[in-house]
Amino acid sequence: MASLRYESQVRPALVEGQKGYHEVTEDIVRPIEATPSRAWWIGFLISVGLLIFGIISVTHEVIFGVGQWNLNRTIGWGWDITNFVWWVGIGHAGTLISAILLLFRQGWRTGVNRAAEAMTIFAVMCAGQFPIWHMGRVWMAFFVMPYPNTRGPLWVNFNSPLLWDVFAISTYFTVSLLFWYSGLLPDLATVRDRAKLKWRKLFYGLTSFGWTGSAKHWQRHEALSLVLAGLSTPLVLSVHTIVSFDFATSVIPGWHTTIFPPYFVAGAIFSGFAMVQTLLLVTRKVLSLEEYITLEHIEVMNKVIVLTGSIVGVAYLTELFIAWYGQNPFENWAFMQNRVNIFSPYGWSYYLMMGCNVLSPQIFWFRKMRRNITVTFFMSVIVNIGMWFERFVIIVTSIYRDYLPSSWSTYYRPTIWEIGFYMGTFGLFFTCYFLFSKFFPVIAIAEIKHILKKSGAIYKEKMDGIEKVSVEEFASEHAHVHEHAPHAAH
Amino acid sequence: MAVKKFVVGYFEDEPELFAGVKKIRSAGYKIHDVYTPMPIHGLDKAMGLRDTSLHTAGFIYGITGTTTALSGIGWIFNADWPINFGGKSHFDLPAWIPITFELTVLFSAVGMVMTFCYLCNLAPFVRKHHFNLRSTDDQFTVVLELTAKSNEGEVQAFLASIGAKGINTQVAESGWWLGRYDKDKTPIGTSLA
């Protein structure tokens, strides 16, 4: 019943303007076929610069050892594991948008899923750097893989959360990549079939794998997407759960908490959506895609941000309450002295975290604020600063004063190489994103076409008449159509 | 694959396509394939295609992953090298859940994508005949195969009568071959008769 596809007028249009299928293709492929702008070049070169800074920092660390970072006896996990958890968290929005929202049949995901998935993949790539280079003797990194070896065989410890993490992150990366790329195939074929230049024909011919758009292939593609979405949904939730196990299964006061898994997952979605906002607000402006990534999309994501931010807030208060109520003196100390006490060495970071993650997103209870682009952009950055400090608070304030006061750490400050490494992952992330936005369709073309006749502004307007007619009138008006030309589809 | 003759036409939107496919089938013509810019729900049923079994394949790959994880870890920790972790059980099933789950998902996803690519003949350097380049853009292309019994002019006239546009006849290789999209060459072994 394709011609009668109807969506309530209560739902705002997801594609604005007078668009047909061809206009959708034109709009989304235009940035790929155009010469990159000056802004693109500037952004790209800054990213590459940061990446080079990162490579130098990591090289320095590999040559001279992990001692080049300011880690010490008590603070064994400093900036690097903070950054690792931060990037993994950011890498949660993409697959959440494309998988969970696909299962929930949320039409608005089509405008943002492609870029969000790309962001996920790049964020996980950045995250993976930290544990790998933290190994110090990085040429031994393959020891984390279980394989029959001549060292015993010495197997990895399958009961260890750190190994679960290896499996979780690598599975998550692989599955996200497959999901993203299988969705890209039809769109790359669209670019290929329009290509005039020789290199473009070659490049998109290779990357689109010979996609034709055959009905049988689409049928399999739909089945694949649905099952991958079904698999990715528990996968997304498992990844940050397992990352939280890195902490929660230990006996360190401040980490040894059963609330960690849901609290980490909510935080991951929170920071992931914030990063999606940061990127898409710029992308839609620079690539003139405001009609596809509409204020509606931005508002919906802001709702997710205020929800997950509040969940995170409840989790912060719960663990604080339990630290007091549980009457474990060590747990109590970790919270009351190392965090809540603003005069303690890292007390400031606890309040920064609370302010950025719990208080500031509450602004999104107001519709005006949710639909304000400047406020959204500002908030998306604030949220990610807050989420970085959440991980910093969890890691550093829990370990810098351990059971033995004589080994209490001196004030931990990162060295230039730690900062350089972190900056380098920004370089990696944005270099990848800039290349992606230049060479790949940043919006899922086929998926937009799929919802176009239901959620496109021009088609919704046409449905206006139907809204005014009663059900009986509508039925009697259309009944004869069915008698004479029954549709095969149902 | 054999080189065959096809009559090609396109429709401009889904409702016309559905009506067209229905008429083509009731008239008894053989639909070679339909090419669309996006997935169209119900088109497979309208064309009489059978359901895909990709889900089943995914399930089989999934349980293969589960079995691999459980038997692998079980063998390593109980038979090959039983390490004593603070006196805990060697058969520590709850601690294996995360890795078992991850491997289930990994096997299922990788296996399904590879099966999908295999079934649809998707890979770099795979080249196919494209009947209508706009069918990845905005045209819903219907391709009818000409058999010994069918008459080219008649099929063309029929397509025109059901509202198809841009009707033409193409001689093409119906399968795939290795090639590059920047080189517009006819596949090896094709005789354009």
Residue A476 pLDDT class (50, 70, 90 cuts): confident
Same domain, yes or no, for B37 and B63?
no
Q: What is the pLDDT of residues A24-50, one digit of tens each?
A: 999 999 999 989 888 899 999 999 999
Are residues B148 and B136 part of one domain? Answer: yes
Distance from CA of B147 to the nearest CA of A (A): 21
Judge whether A214 and B33 are in contact, CB under 8 Å: yes
- State the nearest Cα–Cα gap between A66 and chain B, in angstroms: 28
pLDDT, tens digit (0-9, with 9 covering 90-100), for A301-312: 999 999 999 999
Q: Do B73 and A245 touch (CB under 8 A)?
A: no
Contact A394, A254 (CB under 8 A): yes
Give the residue from chain B lying closest to A215, CA to CA. Answer: B34
pLDDT at A482 over 60: no
pLDDT-derived band at A4 (thresholds 50, 70, 90) equals: very low
Interface mutation target, options A187, A224, A478, chain B, most CBs of B under 10 Å: A224
The pLDDT tens digits of the residues spanning A387-405 come to: 999 999 999 999 888 888 8
Q: Which residue of A has its CA nearest to B143?
A: A214
Nearest CA in chain B to A232: B105
Tell me what pLDDT residue A301 has: 93
The conformation of residue A67, written as its DSSP 8-state character, comes to G
Q: Which ipTM did the prediction report? A: 0.92
- Quote the pLDDT of residue B3: 82
Residue B184 scores a pLDDT above 70: no
Confidence at residue B113, expressed as pLDDT on a 0 to 100 scale: 96
What values do phi and psi take at B9, rounded to 5?
-150, 165
Percentage of residues in chain A having pLDDT higher than 70: 94
Residue B158 inside a domain? The answer is yes
CA separation for the pair B4, B24 (Å, rounded): 19
Whether the CB-CB separation of A16 and A294 falls below 8 Å is answered with: yes
> What is the band of A385 on the pLDDT scale with cuts at 50, 70, 90?
very high
Q: Which one of A153, A223, A453 has the shortest CB-CB distance to B52?
A: A223
- Say whether A122 sits in a helix, a strand or coil: helix
Based on the domain organization, do B65 and B153 belong to the same domain? no
Our CA-based measurement puts residue A457 at a distance from the nearest CA of chain B, in whole angstroms, of 17
How far A456 CA sits from the closest chain B CA (Å)?
Answer: 15
- CB-CB contact of A180 with B109 (8 Å): no
Within a domain: B76: yes
Domain co-membership, B78 together with B30: no
DSSP-assigned letter for residue B129? -
- Please tell me which of the candidates A3, A185, A193 has its beta carbon nearest to residue B15: A3
- In the structure, what pLDDT confidence band is assigned to residue A445 with cuts at 50, 70 and 90? very high
- Burial grade of A90 (CB within 10 A; 0-12, 13-18, 19 or more): buried
What local confidence, expressed as pLDDT, does residue A479 receive? 67
pLDDT at residue A483 greater than cutoff 70: no
d(CA B118, CA A282): 38
Label the pairing between strands B165-173 and B3-11: antiparallel
Stated length of chain A: 490
Burial of A479: CB neighbours in 10 Å, binned 0-12, 13-18, 19+:
exposed
Mark whether B63 and B150 lie in a shared domain: no
Work out the angle between the directed axes of helices A109-134 and A161-194 (0-180°, nearest 10).
Answer: 130
Instruction: Write out the two tokens for B53.
Output: 């079994």
- Interior angle at CA B190, CA B186 and CA B191, nearest 5: 115
Residue A365 has what pLDDT? 96
- pLDDT(A2) > 50: no
Q: What is the predicted pLDDT for the residue at A1?
A: 38
- Those residues with Cβ within 8 angstroms of residue A284's Cβ, 6 or more apart along the chain or in another chain: A290, A292, A293
Cα-based angle A448, A453, A456 (whole degrees, multiple of 5): 70
Residue-level pLDDT at A490: 47
Which of A25, A202, A215 is facing B44, going by the closest CB pair?
A215
When pLDDT is averaged across residues A171-200 and rounded to a whole number, the result is 93
Instruction: Assess whether B39 and B131 both reside in one domain.
Output: yes
Closest C-alpha to A129, from A72, A180, A79: A79
Q: What is the pLDDT of residue A469?
A: 75
Per-residue pLDDT for B131 more than 50? Answer: yes
Give yes or no: residues B46 and B129 share one domain.
yes
Task: Let me know whether B70 and B33 are in one domain.
Answer: no
pLDDT digits (tens, 9 = 90+) for A73-89: 888 888 999 999 999 99
Between A202, A227, A232, which is nearest B180 by CB?
A202
The parent domain of residue B155 ranges over 3-50+125-178
Contacts 24+ apart (CB under 8 A), A153-159: A153/B80, A153/B81, A154/B81, A155/B76, A155/B77, A155/B80, A155/B81, A155/B83, A157/B83, A157/B85, A158/B73, A158/B76, A158/B77, A158/B95, A158/B96, A158/B99, A159/B85, A159/B88, A159/B92, A159/B95, A159/B96
Q: Is B123 left (phi over 0), alpha (psi -120 to 50) or beta?
A: beta
User: Quick one: B72 and B164 in the same domain?
Assistant: no
Does the pLDDT of residue B178 top 90, yes or no? no
Over chain B, what is the mean pLDDT? 88
Do the Cβ atoms of A354 and A385 come closer than 8 Å? no
Residue of B181, B183, B185 best to disrupt the A interface, most CBs of A under 10 A = B181
pLDDT for res B187: 58
Residues B67 and B110 in one domain: yes
**Number of domains within chain B:** 2
How large a percentage of chain A has pLDDT more than 90? 64
Question: Which among A174, A194, A487 is the nearest to B110, CB-wise?
Answer: A174
Query: Given B18, B99, B123, which is nearest A488 (Cβ)?
Result: B18
Q: Which residues fall within 8 angstroms of residue A470, CB to CB, at 6 or more apart?
A: none
Is B189 part of a structural domain of the chain?
Answer: no
When pLDDT is cut at 50, 70 and 90, the band that residue A151 belongs to is confident
How far is the C-alpha of A229 from the C-alpha of A235, rounded, in Å?
A: 10
Which pLDDT score is estimated for A163? Answer: 94
- Candidates B128, B180, B182: best to mutate against A (most CBs of A within 10 A) is B182
User: A18-138+155-457 sits in which CATH class?
Assistant: mainly alpha
What phi and psi values does residue A322 have, to the nearest 5 degrees?
Answer: -65, -35
pLDDT single digits (tens) A250-273: 989 999 889 999 999 999 999 999
What does the alpha-carbon distance between residue A128 and residue A468 come to, in Å, rounded to a whole number? 55
**Same domain, yes or no, for B147 and B111?**
no
Assess if residue B46 is contained within a domain: yes
Judging contacts by C-beta atoms under 8 Å, the chain B residues touching residue A202 are 180-182
Note whether A216 and B193 are within 8 A (CB).
Answer: no
Q: Is A209 on the interface with B (CB under 8 A)?
A: yes
Regarding whether B134 and B97 lie in a shared domain, the answer is no
Binary contact (B44, A219; C-beta < 8 A): yes
Cβ–Cβ of A157/B83 closer than 8 Å? yes
Contact flag A223-B138 (C-beta cutoff 8 Å) = no
In the sheet that B165-173 helps form, which strands lie side by side, from edge to edge?
A: B31-35, B140-145, B3-11, B165-173
Asked if residue A369 has pLDDT above 50, the reply is yes
As separate numbers, helices (DSSP H) first and strands (DSSP E) second, chain B gives 5, 6
Of B119, B136, B163, the domain-final residue: B119
Rounded to an integer, the average pLDDT of A16-29 is 88
Residue type, A363: I
Cα separation, A182 vs A444, in Å, equals 11
